[in-house]
Structure 1
Amino acid sequence: MALSLWLLWMCPVLLSNIAPSEQALSRAAMPFGLMRRELACEGYPIELRCPGSDVIMIETANYGRTDDKICDADPFQMENVQCYQPDAFKIMSHRCNNRTQCVVVAGADVFS
């Protein structure tokens, strides 16, 4: 079955918000970054890369099939369009979070 891997990810930048208070300055760090979406069909790589020393943060991930259009294959394989790997987010987070770059090939060897 031709499955796909899709992710939402970002390279967060911490911004410090400095506000005066009666006794001292307080800092509140807020993550900020551009959300990106990547898609790879089974057997193809996804390459994530952040600029400089920024690191990858996976927001969501799915490995499977949710429609019959993306990464289509043999029509007989398209009958089940509601399959997904429930641990895809955990797997991708473990492989890529807090790194400046990450390459993952969409396939059962990674997501089984």
Structure 2
Amino acid sequence: MSNNIPDNLLYSRDHEWVDVDGDIATIGISDHAQAELGDVVFVDLPEPGTSIAANDSIAVVESVKAASDVYSPVSGEIIEVNEELGNEPGAVNSDPYGNGWICKIRLQDMSELDSLLSPADYSEFCS
């Protein structure tokens, strides 16, 4: 497994990462998840304006090996999606914590963040 786990993010046990800025959470899949999937060829993005609950499927990432649901670690409203993934789905592989982000959600319940893993806990969870 890659040790490429940024220490400013929170992580789910489903291998999603969350970057919180105020009440906005940017969501993507971890380096571990993209490595397991292999080369990503398509990302089915959610619709902005959609209200979602924690653990709902918000996207599907398709690779040469498999299609995998992406689950939202938090509840709220999807306010933005990464349209660039339509043209560059491989950004999920090449830059999972940067240009490979999937969507931004306006958080409904900040306490849900308490159930996410710290970088150290996520690293241990993956090993």
Q: Does the alignment reach a TM-score above 0.5?
A: no
Larger relative helix fraction: 2
TM-score by length of 2: 0.27
Q: Which structure's CA Rg is the greater one?
A: 1
Larger relative strand fraction: 1
